[in-house]
Amino acid sequence: MQTIDNFNFAGKKAFVRVDFNVPLDENFNITDDTRMRAALPTLKKILADGGSIIIGSHLGRPKGVNEKYSLKHILPHLSELLGVDVQFANDCVGEEAAVKAAALQPGEVLLLENLRFYAEEEGKPRGLADDASEEEKKAAKKAVKESQKDFTKRLASYADAYVNDAFGTAHRAHASTALMAAYFDTDHKMFGYLMEKEVKAVEKVLNDINRPFTAIMGGSKVSSKIEIIENLLNKVDNLIITGGMTYTFTKAMGGKIGNSICEEDKLELAKELMAKAKEKGVNLVLAVDAKIADNFSNDANTAFAPVNEIPDGWEGLDIGPKSEEIFANVIKNSKTILWNGPTGVFEFENFTHGSRSVGEAIVEATKNGAFSLVGGGDSVACVNKFGLADGVSYVSTGGGALLEAIEGKVLPGIEAIRGY
């Protein structure tokens, strides 16, 4: 497999797929440029070699051309970060893009407009009527798959080499994240530095596990995390299930959860997961107490209660001090740690304590030699918010991609380059 370090970009044009899906405020100011900074080592290496770059990215989830999601908004900041006047093509596959790409000189950079302005990027039909028949849906799908080939080929035609540095979308088989790679031979396609680091971090967790291995899964719903939880039961020694998911488990065990968030239709599943954990000898750790609130707001009245004795009219919005201690003990005795999802509604300042304490325990374990991997938007936001990012081994830019990789799935963006 080709590597970015071994490739000399001098006189070459590289198409670099990045993840510049950054949050913007209502005036289109970038509120967090982490993802842009993460791609800089790759972009700078290409320029330092004497190559030129065509950058492709998505921004948000537009359903067609939509000014709100234009990558134009990030152009000045990108120029500033790179120290180069970055050019812009208003349409990623229009004539303008082709002409500008062809004219690129060594050291020059061209940013293409949002790839997702075209349905072909994702390969999913758009604009289908709600009452479309199965036939119509099938035909639309076929049509977009057909036109996706031309779209992909056109993007590939701009460059001599293809670099994928967008780990956040590596679990999607989109035109620019996976399909494009087919138009380049093995020597001319490679991961960018960020992607390389992400893949290594995942491999470390999957193949080189120092035990005990503890996974902390938080977040609101069991339903969105079943697969990963089931898969982790085959890998971990300790599984801490926390956040809003807690109450589905508590209720399944006959506890009283007041108004806490709960998936009534997942009570049986929660029981099954507990039984499976037992069968596999996994220590499933759940909260024993909760910080409860009399409504879903930062200003609510609060109290602490056993997690299975939450009064009517109150809901658990974070873990309590006893749970913090239990979680911290498990974490501090671990040698490999994966964290995805907060222990509570961390967006409310008054319910951040549990997530902070988990983060701090991870930092301490890391100091003592553990390998810790934090991924998923909310947990990354937590470690950044609490200033703990430097204390963990690796903060992943991937949410869904990271979890799918940890589940053991082959990610299309990785397979397209590496072959497996």
**Interacting residue ranges for ligand AMP, rule: CB under 6 A:** 219-221, 224, 243-244, 261, 316-317, 341-342, 344-345, 347, 378
CA dist 273 to 228, 308, 338, Å? 12, 19, 19
Nearer to ligand AMP, 316 or 320 (CB): 316
Cβ-proximal residues to 286 (8 Å cutoff; 6+ apart), any chain: 240, 241, 242, 246, 249, 250, 307
Catalytic-role residue among 17, 35, 172, 225? 35
Looking at the Cβ atoms of 52 and 352, the one nearer to ligand AMP is 352
Q: How far apart are CA 196 and CA 414, in angstroms?
A: 10
Q: Which residue has the tokens 């065509």?
A: 54
The conformation of residue 261, written as its DSSP 8-state character, comes to -
CB of 225 to ligand AMP, least distance (A): 7
- If the CB atoms of residues 292 and 414 are measured against ligand AMP, the closer one turns out to be 292
Residue nearer to ligand AMP on the CB measure, 62 or 243: 243
As measured in angstroms, the least distance from the Cβ of 358 to ligand AMP is 12
* CB 217 to ligand AMP: min, Å: 9
Q: Which is nearer to ligand AMP, 67 or 349 (CB)?
A: 349
- DSSP string of 116-174? GGSHHHHT---S--TT--HHHHHHHHHHHHHHHHHHHHHHHHT-SEEEE--GGGTTS--
Q: Which residues contact 67 (CB under 8 A, 6 or more apart)?
A: none
Give min distance, CB of 266 to ligand AMP, in A: 13
CA trace torsion 400, 272, 335, 387 (10° rounding):
50
Residue 221 annotated in active site:
yes
Catalytic, out of 51, 375, 400, 413: 400
CA end-to-end span of the chain: 11
Phi, psi of 85 (to 5 degrees): -75, 95
Return the SS3 of 23. Answer: coil
State in angstroms the smallest separation of the CB of 171 from ligand AMP. Answer: 16
- In this complex, which beta carbon is closest to ligand AMP, that of residue 98 or of residue 300? 300
Q: Residue 186: left (phi > 0), alpha (psi -120 to 50), or beta?
A: alpha
CB of 276 to ligand AMP, least distance (A): 21
35 catalytic residue (yes or no): yes
Which of 153, 377, 391, 409 is catalytic? The answer is 377
The catalytic site residues sit at 35, 221, 377, 400
